[in-house]
């Protein structure tokens, strides 16, 4: 059965047609299909579009795009602060990345950060729409969300996050006025405005699952987790405020799990080793410590086996990449973001990483038909929203195994 569906929002069709007509294209045809599986995306409607059009020279072209639409369900929009999320992602694409790329151009940076999707057009009205290149057509792949990343995938991502974070430090030092202007529009605007009571209910439910996963011999880790769980959401919200990172605040990704990192494999002699990657989905981007992205990524996306063997190397690889990249801007990392500060931040900003790891790991381990259908849930109040996340997965045992390892490792590192 064909995956093609013929329906596209009239407004979205109009946006595409207006964009292409502005580039002197005509005879525009648009076919769309579902762009993500249930459980892969929660806060946007993803559609794949195949667009055919004729240029003014009479040349027929085919474009492969991803359409990211906001919901027009008013209750869902209000409860999930959808406008905040889409406004933030639009700001990242329209304002932040252009300044990052401009700085690299002006200083003739050779080893660049640019591995993010190219955005073709944006609509910032209601419902918000972002239309970008379809990276999968270029060979990029979304990995199995349940499978931990291996050494090569992990290290490549850490190096890329280092370059992404380094651009904030570079802009802050080379163009302080520009960085200040961007920073003023990048304060946390999602968890800080979520209902505290509802989030506490959700976290209490998930934390109970963590308690059940722990074993008698985990006494030390369990004691630390109990203390963390007493104010998990409150600590996380405090840590994601820009002020908490002070002079070390950078533009963070904010949602650094495996579904938001696409990999490409161009070396036929090593087909399972990635050659490049692209970071996607900047709805939760904010100003904060670089460690916020690192803790979330490392503990959500890697196995205990990899962490046991390479955790300190992960931090060293990240910091070396940061150092090498900033050297192109004639900046000394030991003055900008010393390794000792990174180590301190891994402990200081761990509550957010653990909260996200618990929430995302439970969703990762769940079957697609078990994950919350937020847009069609009863969202008349926070109780309806929170009840969508309270469910027993067929894979609770898998979640338990994975999250027990996380708690043990974070406790051993004094991250909790």
Summarize pLDDT for 17-26 with one digit per residue, the tens.
999 999 999 9
Strands 250-252 and 286-288: antiparallel
Q: Give the pLDDT confidence score for residue 379 in this predicted structure.
A: 59
Q: Do 159 and 61 share a domain, yes or no?
A: no
Q: Give the pLDDT confidence score for residue 5 in this predicted structure.
A: 44
378 has pLDDT over 90: no
Q: Are 133 and 64 in contact (CB under 8 A)?
A: yes
Global pTM reads: 0.93
Q: Do 272 and 394 share a domain, yes or no?
A: yes
Q: Give the pLDDT confidence score for residue 370 in this predicted structure.
A: 78
**β-sheet bridge partners, residue 54:** 26, 60
Residue 98 lies in a domain: no
Strands 129-133 and 60-69: antiparallel
Q: Give the pLDDT confidence score for residue 4 in this predicted structure.
A: 40
Q: How many residues does the chain have?
A: 416
Q: Do 163 and 41 share a domain, yes or no?
A: no
Q: Do 155 and 251 share a domain, yes or no?
A: yes
Q: Give the pLDDT confidence score for residue 283 in this predicted structure.
A: 96
Residue 381: pLDDT band with limits 50, 70, 90: low
Helices 151-174 and 290-301 pack at an angle, to 10 degrees, of 170
262 has pLDDT over 70: yes
Residue 168: pLDDT band with limits 50, 70, 90: very high
Q: Are 8 and 32 in contact (CB under 8 A)?
A: yes
Domain boundary among 26, 41, 69: 69
Q: Give the pLDDT confidence score for residue 100 in this predicted structure.
A: 98
Domain boundary among 69, 104, 121: 69
- CATH at residue 262: 3.90.1200
Domain boundary among 14, 37, 69: 69
Q: Give the pLDDT confidence score for residue 179 in this predicted structure.
A: 98
- What is the three-class DSSP state of 7? coil
383 has pLDDT over 70: no
Q: Show Cβ contacts of residue 398 under 8 Å, excluding neighbours closer than 6 positions.
A: 146, 365
Q: Are 88 and 32 in contact (CB under 8 A)?
A: no
Q: Give the pLDDT confidence score for residue 37 in this predicted structure.
A: 63
Residue 387 lies in a domain: yes
In this prediction, residues 287-305 reach a mean pLDDT of 98
Q: Give the pLDDT confidence score for residue 342 in this predicted structure.
A: 98
Q: Do 290 and 378 share a domain, yes or no?
A: yes
Q: Do 162 and 14 share a domain, yes or no?
A: no
Residue 86 lies in a domain: no
Q: Do 209 and 65 share a domain, yes or no?
A: no
Residue 265: pLDDT band with limits 50, 70, 90: very high
Number of domains in the chain: 2
Domain residues for the domain of 214 are: 140-412
In this prediction, residues 165-192 reach a mean pLDDT of 96
Average pLDDT score, the chain: 92
Angle, vertex CA 406, rays to CA 273 and CA 363, nearest 5: 75
Which range has the top average pLDDT, 8-17, 210-219, 384-393? 210-219
365 has pLDDT over 70: yes
167 has pLDDT over 60: yes
8 has pLDDT over 90: no
Q: Give the pLDDT confidence score for residue 371 in this predicted structure.
A: 73
Residue 338 lies in a domain: yes
H-assigned helices in 107-195: 151-174, 176-183
Name the CA dihedral angle for 137, 140, 143, 145, rounded to a multiple of 10 degrees: -80
Backbone angles phi, psi at 53, to 5 degrees: -155, 160
Q: Do 202 and 343 share a domain, yes or no?
A: yes
In this prediction, residues 246-250 reach a mean pLDDT of 97
Q: Do 65 and 144 share a domain, yes or no?
A: no
Residue 154 lies in a domain: yes
Share of the chain above pLDDT 70, in %: 93
Q: Do 374 and 283 share a domain, yes or no?
A: yes
In this prediction, residues 340-364 reach a mean pLDDT of 96
Residue 88 lies in a domain: no
Q: Centre a 10 Å sphere on the Cβ of residue 2 and count the other Cβ atoms it contains.
A: 6
Q: DSSP letters along 170-205, please?
A: HHHHH-HHHHHHHHTT-S--SGGGS-HHHHHHHHHH
Q: Do 266 and 407 share a domain, yes or no?
A: yes
Helices 350-365 and 339-348 pack at an angle, to 10 degrees, of 60
Q: Give the pLDDT confidence score for residue 377 in this predicted structure.
A: 60
Lowest model confidence (mean pLDDT) among 43-47, 252-256, 383-387, 409-413: 383-387
Residue 110 lies in a domain: no
Alpha-carbon distance of 396 to 216, in angstroms, equals 19
Q: Give the pLDDT confidence score for residue 194 in this predicted structure.
A: 81
* pLDDT tens by residue, 115-139: 999 999 999 888 999 999 999 999 9
Residue 127 lies in a domain: no
Alpha-carbon distance of 126 to 207, in angstroms, equals 36
The DSSP H or E segment spanning 278 is strand 276-279
Lowest model confidence (mean pLDDT) among 136-150, 195-209, 287-301: 195-209
């Amino acid at each position: 059965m064909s995956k093609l569906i013929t329906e596209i929002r009239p407004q979205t069709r109009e946006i595409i047609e207006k964009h292409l007509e502005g580039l002197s294209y005509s005879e525009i045809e648009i076919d769309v299909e579902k762009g993500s599986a249930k459980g892969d995306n929660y806060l946007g409607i993803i559609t794949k579009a195949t667009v055919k059009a004729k240029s003014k020279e009479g040349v027929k072209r085919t474009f492969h795009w991803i359409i990211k639409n906001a919901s027009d369900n008013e209750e869902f929009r209000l409860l999930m602060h959808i406008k905040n999320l889409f406004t933030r992602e639009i700001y990242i694409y329209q304002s932040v990345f252009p300044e990052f790329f401009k700085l690299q151009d002006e200083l003739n940076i050779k080893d660049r950060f640019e591995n993010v999707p190219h955005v073709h057009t944006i609509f910032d009205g209601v419902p918000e729409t972002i239309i970008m290149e379809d990276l999968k057509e270029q060979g990029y792949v979304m990995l199995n969300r349940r499978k931990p990343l291996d050494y090569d995938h992990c290290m490549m991502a850490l190096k890329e996050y280092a370059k992404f974070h380094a651009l904030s430090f570079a802009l802050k030092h080379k163009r302080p006025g520009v960085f200040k202007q961007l920073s003023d529009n990048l304060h946390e605007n999602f968890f800080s405005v979520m209902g505290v009571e509802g989030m506490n209910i959700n976290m209490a439910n998930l934390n109970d699952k963590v308690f059940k996963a722990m074993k008698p011999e985990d006494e030390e880790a369990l004691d630390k987790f109990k203390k963390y769980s007493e104010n998990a959401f409150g600590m996380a919200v405090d840590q994601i405020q820009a002020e908490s990172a002070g002079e070390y605040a950078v533009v963070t990704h904010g949602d650094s799990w495996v579904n938001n990192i696409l990999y490409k494999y161009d070396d036929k002699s090593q087909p399972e080793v990635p050659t490049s990657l692209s970071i996607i989905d900047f709805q939760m981007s904010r100003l904060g410590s670089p460690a916020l992205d690192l803790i979330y990524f490392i503990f959500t996306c890697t196995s205990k086996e990899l962490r046991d063997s390479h955790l300190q190397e992960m931090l060293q690889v990240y910091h070396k990449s940061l150092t090498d990249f900033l050297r192109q801007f004639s900046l000394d990392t030991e003055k900008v973001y010393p390794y000792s500060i990174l180590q301190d931040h891994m402990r200081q900003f761990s509550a957010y990483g653990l909260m996200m790891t618990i929430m995302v790991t439970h969703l990762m381990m769940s079957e697609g038909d078990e994950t919350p259908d937020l847009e069609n849930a009863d969202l008349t109040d926070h109780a309806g929203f929170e009840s969508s996340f309270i469910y027993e997965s067929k894979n609770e045992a898998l979640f338990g195994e994975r999250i027990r390892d996380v708690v043990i490792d974070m406790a051993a590192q004094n991250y909790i």
